[in-house]
Structure 1
Amino acid sequence: MNNEIPYSRKIEGRMKKIYYKKVGGQYFPNTLSIGEKDEFDNFEIVCIEYYNLNIQREQEIFSRVQLGMPLTVAEKLHAVTSPIAEFAKSILEKYPSINKIIDSKRAKPFQLIVQALHMIELNPTKYNATSGVITKYLQDERSVPRELKQEADQVFASLDILIQVEEEIFTRDHRVSPIEFVFFCYILDKFSNLELAWYQDTLLQMKEYVRNHHADIRFNQTVYKTLWNFVDDVENNLADNDGHKSKKNRKK
C-alpha cells in the first residue's frame, strides 16, 4: 500500500510502471483506478501450511508450486537442515563477494561452498563429489569440527581479499568454473599463509592448465584428476623452490 512495488502494464504501446496510489509530495504518474484498488484490496490469497514433512515431500511440494520447474541439485542441498548446512550458509552471508565470481542463481554458491568444505575436510585424492555423496555429507547431524571452522574461515577470508583486490582475475579469459572454484579453495587451505601475488598467479596458471587439457570444464572425474595433478605440481614446485610444506597429508 506504500507504493514500494509497482507492476508493469502496457500503456499506449509502452510498458509503464503502475503504482497503488498517489502520495503527497511524490510523483506517481500512473496509479490504479478506483475499481482496480477495490479489487486489489478485496482480493483473497490462499495460504496453505504443511506440518511434519520430510525433506523429500518439502522438495516435491516446492517443485510443484513453482510452475513445474524442477529443483536444481543446489536448491535441494540448500533445503537440508544440519549444522554443516548452517555453517555453509553463514560463510556465504559473511563473504557475499563470492557471488561476484561464480553463478549466483538458484543456490549455486551454497552448493560450491559445501563441496569446498567437503574437499577441505576429507582431502579426497579421487573424485568423490557426486550429488549423493555431497547430500550425505550435508545431512550428517554432527557438530562442525572446530578445525574445519577455523580452516574454512581462513580460506574464505583469503578468497574475499583476493576478490576485493583484483576481481578481474576470476573472469579473465574464462570465468572460473565450479570445479576450479572448489579446487582453488582447496589450494588456499593446503598452501596457506603465502603471498597474495602467489595465489593470483596460481589461479591464472590453474585456469590455463586445465583448459590446455580439456575443452569443456565440467565437474567430473576426468577434470578432477587433471586439477589434482596440477595441485601435485604446485606442491612439488614449492618444495623444490623454498621447502614449503603443505599442511595436509593425503587421505588414501
Structure 2
Amino acid sequence: MSSESELTEPSSDEYEIEPAQEDSKKRKPKPSSTYTIKNSLKQPTTASYPTDWLAKQMKSGDIKVDPEYQRNVVWSDAKQSKLIDSILRNFYVPPVLFCISEDSSGNQTRICIDGKQRLTSIRRFLDGLIPHKDGKLSLYFKQADGTKAVRLLPEPLRKQFRNKTLVCIEYRDLSPIHEREMFQRVQLGMALTTGEQLQSFDGPMAQFAHKMHSELFDNAHIETPMCLAIERGRGFQNLIQIIACIARLPEYTHATHIQQTKLLQCQGMSTEKIKEIQHKSERALRLLKTIATNSELCSVAFSLPPRVSRNSPVEFCFSVLLIAMRMDNPGTGPKQLAEAIGEMRAAMRAVHVDMRSNSAVSGSFWNYITGAHHETPQPGPSSQSTSATPSMKKLKINAPPTPQSPTRSNRPEPSKPLTDTKPRPKAMPRSESSAQFQSIFSTPNAGPSQAL
C-alpha cells in the first residue's frame, strides 16, 4: 500500500462555478439616469434691514403686508410686546419672507409672504401704540396722538431699537401661484384657520369670492347690522360655503372642506358654468346687501331673539339660499325676501335651540325653503328632531307625547291615593315664535313661504 493517499489532489477546476446561463428573455438594465429637480425657484437672497427702515417702507407702501391670501392681525398686544422685548434683548427672531417685484420704472415693491405679525408689531411699537414691558413697567417708544401721558423708553434705547436689524429672505419675480404656495408652506406661529387657508387660493372663483368679500364686508360692513362673526377668515369661509351651495341648486348638498377647495380650484367646471355660478351668487349676495344696509328691512330679517348675541353661519348661508331660490318669483323684492328670511329664522329657532351647521338643522332650513315642512307634524324639542340627510324629502320632527287617560285595563291600582289626579293641561307653545312655527307647520295650505 502506498503511503500516499489514493485520493488525488482536488483540481482547482473542480471548484470553479460555471457562470449561469443568462435568460435571453431577461431585459437588459436601462442605463441609470441622473435625478434632477424640476420647477425649482430662483435662489433667494438674504438681507438685514433696520426696524426703522422697515416701518417707513410699510408706511410708504413699498412693503405690502396685506396681500389677499394674508390673514388679519391676530397677535394680541401682549404677544406683540413680547416680540419687542425679544428684539431689544437680542433674542432670536425668525426671518421675514419677501417677494420682490419691480415695475417698468425700476421701483421695487416687497410683498410680505411671512412675517406680517412681526412687522406689524414693530410698526405699532414705533407709533407708540404698544409698550415694551419689563415686569410691571411699561415703556413706550413715543406718546401716540390723543393718548394720555405715558412713560417713554430712554433715548439711547430708542436709538438702539431703530438700528436693530431683522433678517429678511427675498425672492424675486415669483409667479402668483408660487407666491401663494410659498405662503402655505412657510406659515409660522399661530396656525391658520380654515377660512385663512381658503383665502390663499387663486383662480376665477377665488378672485370672485375676494371681490364679494370686499363689497360686503370691507365696504358695506354688513357684518355689523347682521351681527356676524367674520374675523380670521370666517366671512370668506361663509361666502365659499354659500357659493358652493348655490352651484348645486336646485338641489342642496352640504359643501365639505374638500368640495369648497375643489370649487376654488374650479375642478371639472367649464368657463360657462363658472360664469353662471358667479352671476347667480352675485345677484343673491347683492340682494342680501340691500336688505342688510336698510335698517328697516334688516330688523325684519335679522333681528335677534333674547339672550342671543349674533346670527349663526348657518342662518347666514340659508338666508342667501332662500334669496337665490325665490328672487326670480313674480312680485318678489327685497321687502318680501326680508319678511321670508325673518319668518324662516323664527321658525327654525323655535325648533332648534342650537343653531349649528349639522344635518338636522340644515335639513330643517332646506325643507322650509322648499315647502316640505307643510307635511310635518307639530315640532318637538331640538334634541328629538332627526334628519336622514340634508337633502331629505321630509322633515321628521317627533312631537312631544300627549297625556292619555288611563283605561280600565291599564289603570294602575295604587296602594295609596295618588297625589296628583287632575288631568294635565294641553301643552302650549313656549314663545310667540314657537306658536308661529306650530301654525306654519300644522297648516298644509297656508304659510308665509307659499306667498312667494
CA distance in 2 between partners of 1:218 and 1:22 (Å): 43
The amino acid across from 1:176 in the alignment is N
Structure 1 residues 240 and 76, CA gap change in structure 2 (3 angstroms): closer
Q: Distance in 2 between the 1:170 and 1:14 partners?
A: 46
CA 1:87–1:212 in structure 2 vs 1: closer, same or farther (change >3 Å)? same
Matched-pair contact (CA < 8 Å) for 2:371–2:450? no
Please name the residue that 1:59 is paired with: 184
Matches within 5 A, 1:127-206: 127-140=253-266, 143=271, 145-166=274-295, 167-168=298-299, 169-173=301-305, 174=308, 175-192=310-327, 194-206=332-344
TM superposition shift of 1:80: 1.3
Q: What is the identity, as a one-letter code, of the residue corresponding to 2:312?
A: S
Counterpart contact for 1:92–1:98, Cα < 8 Å: no
Aligned to 2:346: 208
Shift in Å at residue 239 of structure 1? 8.4
Aligned to 2:232, which of 99, 106, 110? 106
Aligned-pair CA distance for 1:36: 1.6
1:1-20 to 2 correspondence within 5 Å?
4-8=127-131, 18-20=140-142
TM-score with structure 2 setting the length? 0.45
Structure 1 99/22 Cα, relative in aligned 2: closer, same or farther at 3 Å? closer
Deviation at 1:225, TM superposition (A): 0.9
Is the counterpart of residue 229 in structure 1 residue 367 in structure 2?
A: yes
Quote how far apart the aligned CAs of 1:196 are. Answer: 2.7
Unaligned runs of 5+ in 1: 245-252
Letter in 1 for 2:223: N
> Contact 1:127 / 1:221 at 8 angstroms: preserved in 2?
no
Bigger shift: residues 130-139 or 207-216 = 207-216
TM-score by length of 1: 0.76
Matches within 5 A, 1:36-51: 36-49=157-170
RMSD of aligned Cα (Å): 3.5
Query: More strand by proportion, 1 or 2?
Result: 2
> 1:117·1:152 contact (CA, 8 Å) conserved in 2?
yes
> Which amino acid is the alignment partner of residue 110 of structure 1?
F
Of residues 96-105 and 50-59 in structure 1, the stretch that sits farther from structure 2 once superposed is 50-59
Q: Report the structure, 1 or 2, having the larger helix content.
A: 1
More displaced, 31-40 or 114-123? 31-40
Q: Deviations over 1:160-180 (max 9, x none)?
A: 121111244525214321111
Write the distance in 2 (CA, Å) between the matches of 1:213 and 1:21.
54
* Matched residue, 2:46: none
Tell me the number of residue pairs that the alignment of Structure 1 and Structure 2 aligns: 235
Q: Which amino acid aligns with 1:213?
A: V
**In 2 relative to 1, CA 53–146 (structure 1 residues): closer, same or farther, beyond 3 Å?**
closer
The runs of 5 or more residues in structure 2 that have no matched partner are 1-51, 57-125, 374-444
> Is the 2:195–2:236 Cα contact (8 Å) retained in structure 1?
yes
1:179–1:218 contact (8 Å) kept in structure 2: yes
Q: How far 1:116 sits from its partner (Å)?
A: 1.1
**Are the structure 2 counterparts of residues 4 and 22 from structure 1 closer, same or farther at C-alpha, using a change threshold of 3 Å?**
closer
- Contact kept, 8 Å, 1:158 with 1:188, in 2: the verdict is yes
Question: How far apart are 1:229 and its partner, in Å?
Answer: 0.7
